[in-house]
Structure 1
Amino acid sequence: MDGGAGVTIPRAFLESPRWWRGGAEWLAGLPELVAEQCARRRLTIDGEPMHGSNALVVPVIRDGEQLVLRLAPPGGDVGGQIGALRFWGGRGTVRLVDGDAEAGVMLLERLGTTSLRDVPVDEAMHVLGGLMRRLAVPVPVHVPGTGAAVAARMATLGEEWHRHRRPFDEGVLHQALTIGDRLARSTAATAVNGDLHSEQVLRADREPWLVVDPVLMRGDMAFDLGRVLWTRLDEMAVPGEVMRCFDIVVRAAGVDRDHGRDWVLFRAVDYWLWGLGAGLTEDPLRCHRLVSLLRS
């Protein structure tokens, strides 16, 4: 599939399960969109496109500067990412050169192709904890809060637990709800990336590692500790490795260990039930293992 700017859309991107739920029209117009954006922004394609599950990333050059053109279906997610990148302004995140939420387009500084997923898990935990702390700067009060997110999930956890035929002991549910009540009332009010994990952090020159596709929230920096762990849990063969990685993250982030444990337990129960509802099979098992270890 070639466009006027000479781009070929990777077949793996075109055939991604992401598009089973819609997006055929956007995909069909993607080559023309790349050509239009390159012409409008005076960009020259400088390599083969890359992609995740939801966005195409095209290496480009403008006035000698190496950048990337990121294209995704227009919507609130793109607008939120543009707002998050503008807020952090390159502090621990990829630098936004320009963005157009209505077109689903972002022009970004070019980073490396190595992610934290490619480095040993201990190193990744240390980097992720440091990034949590680096991103925790004052944020406007209108930004969605981690406490409100916890409260919203608490309202549905009991019903979901029954609907999925009580997939874990009722004591686990009660503990999660008790913890959630406490976390929902947290007075923390700094910036938080609500989608932090190894694959969303890339090697860079300006800083050693930079976050991509952040979700801006306000509240407690420990909000995504659970995701940090469960996305690398398969590499932690024995219980001692899990607890060592947990300790690395909380030390690097400067988070109280018991407080961090509470966040991991609540978010793991939350994601366990959400995953069952979404038809996931492996992630609920990871959450099961994580909850069992932290409760023992």
Structure 2
Amino acid sequence: MGRADGGGPAPVAVVVPQSFRDMPRWWREGTGWLEALPRLVRAYCDRWQLAVTGGMAHGSNAAVVPVVRAGEFLVLRLTPPGAAVAAQVEALRFWDGRGTVRLIDADVEGGVMLLERLAMDASLEGLPVAEAMPLLGRMMRRLAVPAPEHVPRTVDVVAARMPALPGEWERCGRPFPESTLVRAFEAGERLSRTESRLAVNGDLHSGQVLRGEREPWLTVDPVLMRGDIAYDLARILWTRIDEMDDEGDILRHFRSMADAAGVDRDHGRDWVVFRAVDYWLWGLTAGLTEDPQRCRRLLAPLARR
């Protein structure tokens, strides 16, 4: 592979962790890509003059390898090629380091990105939930700059999902009271209209925000949308709800995040109700067990009239 840092210890061998091989993504597809990963890393290190400096980390779909080039600490992110890679590259180029990890180079067709190095083991998941919620609210506002016209709109997501909810509710055995479904529909009607043209990260939660140097916290894997920045309030809450003791706790964290984001609380409540109902039904349809219960807990204090 060669030494891209001009000396020092030999590059670290690339090993695909068993925990990555065991991810559900690969149960039916992608094993060929997994087997090729070490060769891909070596090829892109040669192409971009990099040396591997540590072991491979991963999420459910992507591998991340720490590398160095001329003393600059970076990471390679590799995932099977597809439309999602192109969308993420576009998102990172759009925000260009504003609240997000900075993109250094990319090969969209290869599914590979070269990114600035963040603290790979230090996300907002490591902070107490009371500290993380306002930080995420401020991150929502930090990313809220005028968005491109062609990216998906939050209002379109709502409009597309509303007609499907009653049928899914019936097929899932009416898992929550009809009054909750009605509440979600009323919220959806209001959320189907917005004049906002601001950029929205459609996949924001504690695990996607890592400690950085240019800014204290930076977002990774953003999904660029246009419209209402309150779109992901529910996801931010349900991913940390196991750390919230009771309904009063849930409400306090919701309010602290909405206030930090500059979002009207009633409007934010609409988003939490609609997205939690939507995700609850999707989770049941997908065979999930824990996330529907998290949505149940989230809705208990926030879906009341």
- TM bucket normalised to smaller: over 0.9
* Matched residues, number: 293
Shift of the alpha carbon at 1:18? Answer: 2.0
TM-superposition CA deviations, 1:117-167 (whole Å, max 9, x none)? 011001110110000000000012111100000001102111111111111
Q: Residue type of the partner of 2:154?
A: T
Tell me by how many angstroms 1:5 deviates: 7.3
2:29 pairs with 1:22: yes
Asked if the contact 1:5–1:35 (Cα under 8 Å) also holds between the matched residues in 2, the reply is no
Confirm or deny: 8 A CA contact 1:5 1:34 kept in the other structure. no
* Partner of residue 104, structure 2: 97
1:204 matched to 2:212? The reply is yes
**Residues 171-221 of structure 1: per-residue CA shift (max 9 Å, x gap):** 111111111011011221100000000000001111000000000000000
Shift of 1:169: 1.1
Q: Does 1:150 align with 2:158?
A: yes
Contact map agreement 1:5 1:38 (CA 8 A) in 2: no
> What SS class does the counterpart of residue 94 from structure 1 fall into?
coil
Aligned equivalents of 1:174 and 1:187: distance in 2?
Answer: 24
The CA distance in 2 between the partners of 1:261 and 1:35, in whole Å, is 48
Among 49, 52, 58, the alignment partner of 1:42 is 49
Tell me what 2:268 maps to.
260
Helix, strand or coil: the match of 2:118? coil
| CA drift at 1:295 | 2.5
Cα deviations by residue, 1:200-259 (Å, 9 ceiling, x for unpaired): 000111100000000000000000000010000000011111111001101110000100
Alignment partner of 2:114 out of 103, 107, 110: 107
Q: Distance in 1 between matches of 2:156 and 2:26?
A: 31
Q: Residue 21 of structure 1 aligns to a residue in which SS?
A: coil
- 2:187 maps to 179
**Which of 279, 285, 296 pairs up with 2:293?**
285
Confirm or deny: 8 A CA contact 2:247 2:300 kept in the other structure.
Answer: no
What pairs up with 1:126-141 in 2 under 5 angstroms? Answer: 126-141=134-149
Q: Which residue matches 2:257?
A: 249
* Mean Cα deviation higher: 168-177 or 220-229: 168-177
Which of 17, 34, 49 is matched with 1:10 structurally? 17
Question: Hey, what's the Cα distance between the residues in 1 that align with 2:148 and 2:189?
Answer: 24
CA distance in 1, matches of 2:93, 2:24: 30
Q: How far 1:52 sits from its partner (Å)? A: 1.0
Alignment match, 1:69: 76
Residue 7 of structure 2 is matched in structure 1 by none
Which residue type is aligned with residue 188 of structure 2? G
Residue type of the alignment partner of 2:197? A
Map of 1:237 onto structure 2: 245
**Other-structure match for 1:215:** 223
**Partner of residue 271, structure 1:** 279
Gaps of 5+ in 1: none
1:21 deviates by: 2.6
- Secondary structure of 2:60's partner? coil
Distance in structure 1 (CA, Å) of the matches to 2:220 and 2:276: 23
Q: Following the alignment from structure 2 to structure 1, what is the Cα–Cα distance between the partners of residues 303 and 12?
A: 55
Q: How far is 1:97 from its partner? A: 0.3
Question: What is the RMSD computed on CA atoms of the aligned residues?
Answer: 1.1
What is the identity, as a one-letter code, of the residue corresponding to 1:119? L
Measured in 1, the distance between the counterparts of 2:134 and 2:176 equals 31
Equivalent position SS for 1:224: helix
CA offsets 1:66-99 (integer angstroms, 9 cap, x no match): 0000000111111111110000000000000011
Q: Is 1:87 the counterpart of 2:94 in the alignment?
A: yes
- 2:228 and 2:139 mapped to 1: Cα distance? 14
Unaligned runs of 5+ in 2: 1-10
CA contact (8 A) 2:153 2:226 kept: yes
How far apart are the structure 1 equivalents of 2:158 and 2:101? 28
